[in-house]
Structure 1
Amino acid sequence: MLGLQGPAQGRDAGGGADASASTSARGKARPAIGPRDVEIRRTTDGIPHVRANGWRELGAGVGYVQAQDALCTLAEAFVTFEGRRSWFFGPDERPARHATFGRAKNLDLDFFFRGFADAAMTTRYRAEQPPELNALIDGFAAGYNRYLAEFRSDARARAHRTCAGAEWLREIGPDDVYRRLYAAQVAAGLARFIPEIVNAAPAGAARVSAAPGAIGDSGAGSRVIASAGTRGDAGRDVGDDTLQARLSRGIGDQAALGSNMLAFGGEATGEDQALLIGNPHWFWGGPDRFYQMHLTIPGRLDVAGVSFLGVPVVMIGFNDHVAWSHTVSAARRFGLFQLTLDPTDPTRLMRDGQSERMDAREVRVDVRGPRGEAGIVTRTLYRSRFGPVLDLGAHHAAFGWTRDTALAIRDANEQNFHAFRNFFLWNQATSLDDFIAIQRREAATPWVNTTAIGRGDGRVWFADIGPVPDVPDALRAACGTPLGAGFARLDPATPFLDGSRAACDWRESPGATRPGLMPAQAMPSLLRRDYVANMNDSYWLTNARAPLEGYPTVLGGERQALSLRGRLGHRMAAELMTADTRSTATLGRRLKHAALTPRAYSAELFKSELLDQACAAPTVEWTTEVPVVAAAPVPVASSASASASASASASASASATATATATESAPASTSTSTSASLSVPTRQRVDVASACEVLRRWDGRAEANDRGALLWDAFWDRLDALPAAALYRVPFASDRPLETPASPGKADGRVARALAEAVLALQAKGQAVDAPLARHREVDSGGRHLPIYGGCHAAGYFVVACNSDGSDRMGLDTSGNSYLQVVSFDAAGVQAFTLQASGQDERALVAGIGLAPVERYARKDWLPFPFHERDIARDPRLKRSVLSF
């Protein structure tokens, strides 16, 4: 039985409750809370501090505050994880926001979650958690439902939510939360190949069928809804992405996802104390964005930080004894097996000369068409002994399911039901040694590297310990196939083994948490007193003075070039570890400043010599082949081809020239059955004198008022698209990893042309070459315009602000700096400074509600996090409410 105490209380300007219970004035003694109560205190920027005496009550508080701030996002996510998107949003549509599982069509997502996040999975998930974590999850569902009930009866709250009248806004149960956790744990494996898994079928298999019976109240006349997402088309739903690009991304479908993390030990601070910064580059919108919170059970738990929406434990954060952060790991969390099929049946595979049947499971999805007509679509999902069969034939025919062969994927995280138990235990860690012991014992962090520090401890910890295939390089060499050799040219780290031989299975080593996974003692870790760092490169150069070597390729590789962002991170570490920073407090102040200084390392290293080449002449000229169409018969031209024709006849126009440049690599399309396409040489001529002057004056940073950052980013994007061997005159050398590759640009005119094309690209977008960054890279929400600093990963920015579509407006589709924390300890306990660039409230970036954290980030105003009771009590925006369960 749920009940409120006291009157409703409105939201403050910085975020908080739409409706909450009794509020005590700041400064008054806080009343004790009962055994079934939850205390929620909102401080500056709407950060919730949730306090209870029991685990279920604490979970209820978490579910309640997350629903207050992100009800619509959570509700849609629970529809996704239940596999019901096709019913509510249509089978051929896609989620509006990016997520760790990409943006596949709804029907494909439904088949995946119906087929994998089923009742058997949730039952096992619950069985493998400690009772306290299960109680948290039970409570989360209850708290979410509590807020939903209040929301439905509060006209004022409903007026400000886009999902207020949605039929998919429903109560949830614990299984919804377990499905949410599962979706996160398989993000680096199965979830990367959802269309390829749910559309995999042997040649000649039935594509789609109707299931008899009713859907809801539709009666027995339910039928299949025609859909471009049905099998046969959806398998080719790969857009213009290449398989190599897909494989290069550890998580999701956006290149900007990643993180920075550095930890400085006693040799850097001059004290027996360490300092840590966590700086994930993550989603600003969607179900996987971060949510900041502080959770307390007196005497048992006191932890703060962030989690994904729908997760009731802290995933990156700190307590009064430890602090930790993560970056996406370069290790592969899955492997592929090439199946040799039985010649008599393509759903049977040969294993040491014996034929064995795949598991074939029929999955049904309810769908609703554009006019409301109901139907059921069924597919058969196939699984081998290794894992599901997937069909990569839409990317390359050789990787498809043929009469002779097929591919199966084994995800090391599919059975990793300890992933969030690991976080739950970390939340309660009492020392750095305790934290390390938990990580080594559980070996369950799903797809991230970890850094950590401890109170009164001058050591810093790095580890890439979690589920990874136990595939030594010798096994890879002995069990390779010709097809696997071709795959290795696209992705040399992912194991691609012969599935027809038992000798080629993943190894089973002593000490592993599950058969086939690497044991913790065999995985990279480093305990230092100077520093550790990771910026999404492999473990190899965690510390420039102590490379980690001798590990198998599956862990990400060694002696290979770092990203420019990675090189800058190590440069920053060296700059910060100077003699004048011999205190934790001093180093912390310098670190906070450095972390938000948007240096373009590509410009720091290469601007001068690149401009010497690009600006040797005031104009750049080259010839490009522009497609045109024969005069007769007259075709019905698309807008793209019409623009190309215009550019051929009016190349003096900047916009036409930009179009001609673009069409060089993407021939225009026409609608005609008889005309032949021709290519006409067109001379391009671009004045770059002004651009050269702008870049010479530019200081190499992307601050809000900097002029030249937009131009440099467009210039570097074009250079970065070149192969390293074509761009750099000095190649990478493993004995000089922070200095190489170097000397970009060769005497072939490509550098000058890249600058000219950058000028044209800005002109096509209506941007001047000297436009200040603030005019274009900003958050525009609720009538407010907030300039955002930083740039994309490729140009070597440590401060990342990037959109996958290349646009400059920052919003729900941005990925970049998200949650930031700088944490240390002193005699009084943990001292933390935080920022939440994307805000707490789902409406912050679109309606200006709860915009205060975004404004704080824009002005670089680190928030001293009110962790201790004395700090919470004197917070100027404190509001308190109590819920009873």
Structure 2
Amino acid sequence: MKPRPLAAAATTVALVAAGLTVTTGTAVAHGHGYSALIQRASYGVPHITARDFASLGYGVGYAQAEDNICLIAEQMVTVNAQRSRWFGADARNVSSDLFHQKAIDDRSAERWLVGRRDGVRAPSDEVRDQVRGFAAGYNAYLRRAGNEITDPACAGKEWVRPITELDMWRANWARMVRASSGALADGIVAAAPPTAGGTSAPASAPQAEAVVAAADGAPAGVGSNAYGLGRDATASGAGMLLANPHFPWDGGERFYRMHLTVPGRYDVEGAALVGDPIVEIGHNGRVAWSHTVSTARRFVWHRLALVPGDPTSYLYDGQPRKMTSRTVTVQTSAGPVSRTLFDTHFGPVVVVPGTFDWTAQAAYAITDANAANNRALDGWLAMGRATSVGELRAVLDRRQFLPWVNVVAADRDGRALYADHSVVPRVTGPLAAACIPAPFQPLYASSGQAVLDGSRSSCELGRDPDAAVPGILGPANLPALVRTDYVTNSNDSYWLANPARPLEGYPRIIGDERTQRSLRTRLGVLQVQQRLAGTDGLRGTRFTTGKLWDVTLGNRAYGGELVRDDLVRVCEAQPAATASDGTTVDLAAACPALRGWDLKVDLDSRGAHLFTEFALAGGLRFADAYDPAAPLTTPSRLAVEDPRVRTALADAVRKLAGIPLDARLGDVQTEPRGTARIPIHGGRAEAGVFNMIIGVFQPGVGYPKIRHGTSFLMAVELGRDGPSGRQILTYSQSANPNSPWYADQTRLYSAKSWDTVKFTQKQLRADPNLVTYRVGERR
């Protein structure tokens, strides 16, 4: 499908958003309409240039719609509370709709647009123009495509419709609360006063384990690795960055590669989540940055002491306060569904049966620190204009916009930055000591989940003097580190961003310190240390972008390096074991499969899937204790006497029945593209794999579909002649099976190959596949 130019259209479309009349057919700044130049490079990556931010947004909306119109259209169905109307009235869709309808009724997105347009109190004119332009560009493509959308996921579907500026802000709001209200949406929808003699626990309420796990720091199912390399770690002395986010391979949280330019004002190459108008992970000419999901909490609980005899009133400084109730109604394919939802001055009431119940004596509300975070798009815009890690850190300090991620960055002068300057509720040490009731102190110590006494005004979150807004920790209370060697993060806390300079003494709500690190974190640091020591088998002692790529896709399974030999001995000592269901499993084929495994998760690695399932079954149990003085090397010895080790191996063999235990990983782990199955390397973090890939298991087959893992992968160097390096989108640019860009990068990833950084016009024009066209519309 070769893109064609859009003929200029004399179209002015008036939309009503946020209570204002907004013209989307013209660029606000210039009044000349929209005009964007799109240069499509190899693999369909658009390089978009426009004279202003309205036209830039227009070009982004048009290009993204060309490639992923169904993904964006479905996002808009979700945030407009219409999933159960179009996709079925199952419990999950109804709960989603009720949650989003509540946000619509609360005018959550509209409130974001009120206030001074400085990018902190309210979005700036530049960002509003971008958002407005994106909607107009998407609509322009939809008009042009008409009934000829080629993606079978939404071709001919009534739910594909023009979008508005307000739709975009609703989608942005939903992104911000992904790790807070969004993770607890089922509990918000299920919250209801107790019946006589009981507690609130409707059948549709989420189980405690599921809700707490989803809210446990990071959003469920996402993660990342990142390296920031300074001048002491690179061959050239320039800064270098590895971006390696782990996100879903399908749906609305796919990344999209793009390069956006407003000459003299903004010039950034990288990737954004589909449906977002700004680059979120990427680089300009002097600075590169990536994000990893942070361990910090995004909400706090408030325990409400209820007024006797009135479970919808709570005591606050000794005086009763009435909860606010609202009946929310959504239209489903089976008819209307209504639910009464409850709010307090802290925020919504939430139930988690067995953990946070609504009884006659107590209920629980949350304060979501991201519910008012309207700063993110301006924050990423400002990041893209930074010229050093110092300037980038100043952006983080002033705007405090990152919803649930860390920053790892590097600049041309060879400095590297780690910072968890994300949005974190202001739970300081003194507040936690004074306001978390004794029964909840262990929960806070172990997980960072703060349950505050909601009956006292002295236990409100308050304000740090340097915080961008009330209720969140200011920059002085947040961890950051600048180095000239390296910083790294793989979703553990900030503590060992660089082991030579541990970050300590921060509020527990941000993360833990001096605790055991994951095998993925340990391998991530070890890989850098071995590269700088010249002990990783590669030439030299510093990084180039090529060596950074090779290290990232080296596909080491650190858990196997530690315990495989001992596991083989356990297996060979008694080649039969009892599985967890009590059955006896023959291990005769498992022992040689493990012994022959190359300790990697490459396509040719035989037996890797067996070790993965052993790890997932809980077999990685260690005999030695964790030592906080040696956090990168302990624990390390397999607990060979622990019977659960043998049970886990038996469970793994049993689960893999019908699949050869010594099969090549590339034969059992694949990604479908049309009738082809593309072999996929990488593996599970539980096995200590850095290049994380999670497949969907199918008995007797293996992993014929990738669920999530390595997605946008970039190794970029900020040299004196401009940025250079390698990048790839593992699942390819388009989700449309009829697009030419549906499988090309997936095949590249399978071969460990890459696309090059194309930041300069010289780099771009050297691309033999370059196609250029202009999109726009006039009044």
State which of 498, 512, 529 in structure 2 corresponds to 1:574: 529
Q: Give 2:496's aligned residue.
A: 541
Structure 2 unaligned spans of 5+: 8-31, 115-121
The one-letter amino acid of 1:717's match is L
Is 1:749 paired with 2:736? no
> 1:850 offset after TM fit, Å?
2.3
> 1:289 offset after TM fit, Å?
1.1
> 1:702 offset after TM fit, Å?
1.0
The one-letter amino acid of 1:477's match is A
Further displaced range: 752-761 or 517-526: 752-761
Is 1:313 paired with 2:278? yes
Q: Secondary structure at the match of 1:192?
A: coil
Inter-CA distance 415–243: structure 2 relative to 1 (3 Å threshold): closer
The one-letter amino acid of 1:527's match is V
Q: Give 2:325's aligned residue.
A: 360
Q: Give 1:221's aligned residue.
A: none
> 1:285 offset after TM fit, Å?
0.8
Partners of 2:502 and 2:664 in 1: how far apart?
41
Q: Secondary structure at the match of 2:232?
A: helix
The one-letter amino acid of 2:710's match is N
Partners of 1:719 and 1:428 in 2: how far apart?
46
State which of 251, 258, 264 in structure 2 corresponds to 1:293: 258
Is 1:432 paired with 2:426? no
Inter-CA distance 201–731: structure 2 relative to 1 (3 Å threshold): same
Aligned pair count reads 741
Is 1:828 paired with 2:727? no
User: After superposition, what is the alpha-carbon deviation per residue over 1:565-597, rounded to whole angstroms, capped at 9, x for unaligned?
Assistant: 000000001012136999999532211101111
Further displaced range: 496-505 or 192-201: 496-505
Partners of 2:72 and 2:704 in 1: how far apart?
18
Is 1:410 paired with 2:370? no
User: After superposition, what is the alpha-carbon deviation per residue over 1:637-664, rounded to whole angstroms, capped at 9, x for unaligned?
Assistant: xxxxxxxxxxxxxxxxxxxxxxxx56x3
Q: Give 2:573's aligned residue.
A: 616
Counterparts of 1:79-90 in structure 2, within 5 Å, are 79-90=77-88
> 1:134 offset after TM fit, Å?
0.3
Partners of 1:334 and 1:70 in 2: how far apart?
32
> Does structure 1 conserve the Cα–Cα contact (< 8 Å) formed by 2:188 and 2:349?
yes
State which of 609, 617, 620 in structure 2 corresponds to 1:718: 617
Q: Secondary structure at the match of 1:497?
A: strand
> Does structure 2 conserve the Cα–Cα contact (< 8 Å) formed by 1:338 and 1:499?
yes
Q: Give 2:759's aligned residue.
A: 867
> 1:110 offset after TM fit, Å?
0.9
Is 1:787 paired with 2:679? yes
State which of 704, 713, 728 in structure 1 corresponds to 2:622: 728
Partners of 2:697 and 2:187 in 1: how far apart?
23
> 1:543 offset after TM fit, Å?
0.4
Q: Give 1:346's aligned residue.
A: 311
State which of 202, 211, 227 in structure 2 corresponds to 1:232: 202
Inter-CA distance 521–621: structure 2 relative to 1 (3 Å threshold): closer
Inter-CA distance 585–70: structure 2 relative to 1 (3 Å threshold): farther
Partners of 2:564 and 2:464 in 1: how far apart?
50
Q: Give 1:658's aligned residue.
A: none
> 1:135 offset after TM fit, Å?
0.4
Q: Give 2:456's aligned residue.
A: 501
Identity of aligned residues (%): 35
Q: Give 1:210's aligned residue.
A: none
Inter-CA distance 488–150: structure 2 relative to 1 (3 Å threshold): same
Partners of 1:141 and 1:304 in 2: how far apart?
21
Q: Secondary structure at the match of 1:234?
A: coil
Inter-CA distance 20–249: structure 2 relative to 1 (3 Å threshold): farther
> Does structure 2 conserve the Cα–Cα contact (< 8 Å) formed by 1:275 and 1:584?
no
> 1:483 offset after TM fit, Å?
4.6
> 1:685 offset after TM fit, Å?
3.5
Is 1:879 paired with 2:771? yes
Q: Give 2:297's aligned residue.
A: 332
Partners of 1:584 and 1:129 in 2: how far apart?
46
> Does structure 2 conserve the Cα–Cα contact (< 8 Å) formed by 1:453 and 1:461?
yes
Partners of 1:746 and 1:616 in 2: how far apart?
11
> Does structure 2 conserve the Cα–Cα contact (< 8 Å) formed by 1:285 and 1:812?
no
Partners of 2:241 and 2:419 in 1: how far apart?
15
The one-letter amino acid of 1:193's match is L
> Does structure 2 conserve the Cα–Cα contact (< 8 Å) formed by 1:782 and 1:847?
no
Is 1:760 paired with 2:760? no
Q: Secondary structure at the match of 2:174?
A: helix
Counterparts of 1:611-650 in structure 2, within 5 Å, are 611-617=568-574, 619-622=575-578
> Does structure 1 conserve the Cα–Cα contact (< 8 Å) formed by 2:402 and 2:423?
yes
Partners of 2:57 and 2:310 in 1: how far apart?
50
The one-letter amino acid of 1:739's match is T
Partners of 2:540 and 2:414 in 1: how far apart?
12
> Does structure 1 conserve the Cα–Cα contact (< 8 Å) formed by 2:567 and 2:640?
no
State which of 631, 654, 666 in structure 2 corresponds to 1:774: 666
Inter-CA distance 582–549: structure 2 relative to 1 (3 Å threshold): farther
Partners of 1:117 and 1:288 in 2: how far apart?
22
Inter-CA distance 853–147: structure 2 relative to 1 (3 Å threshold): same
Q: Give 2:28's aligned residue.
A: none
Q: Give 1:475's aligned residue.
A: 431
Inter-CA distance 249–561: structure 2 relative to 1 (3 Å threshold): same
> 1:368 offset after TM fit, Å?
2.3
TM-score under structure 2 length normalisation? 0.91
Q: Secondary structure at the match of 1:458?
A: coil
Counterparts of 1:172-321 in structure 2, within 5 Å, are 172-204=163-195, 232-235=202-205, 237-238=206-207, 242-248=210-216, 250-252=218-220, 254=221, 257-269=222-234, 271-321=236-286
Is 1:152 paired with 2:45? no
The one-letter amino acid of 1:88's match is W
> Does structure 2 conserve the Cα–Cα contact (< 8 Å) formed by 1:278 and 1:822?
yes
Counterparts of 1:516-595 in structure 2, within 5 Å, are 516-578=471-533, 587-595=544-552
Counterparts of 1:43-62 in structure 2, within 5 Å, are 43-62=41-60
Q: Secondary structure at the match of 1:429?
A: coil
> 1:120 offset after TM fit, Å?
2.7
User: After superposition, what is the alpha-carbon deviation per residue over 1:509-537, rounded to whole angstroms, capped at 9, x for unaligned?
Assistant: 21111222110121000001111000000
The one-letter amino acid of 1:609's match is D
The one-letter amino acid of 1:827's match is R
Cα RMSD between the aligned structures?
2.5
Partners of 2:112 and 2:703 in 1: how far apart?
37
User: After superposition, what is the alpha-carbon deviation per residue over 1:350-395, rounded to whole angstroms, capped at 9, x for unaligned?
Assistant: 01211111122222212222xxxxx3322222111111100112xx
Partners of 1:313 and 1:705 in 2: how far apart?
39
Partners of 1:113 and 1:811 in 2: how far apart?
33
Partners of 1:183 and 1:813 in 2: how far apart?
25
> Does structure 1 conserve the Cα–Cα contact (< 8 Å) formed by 2:428 and 2:507?
yes
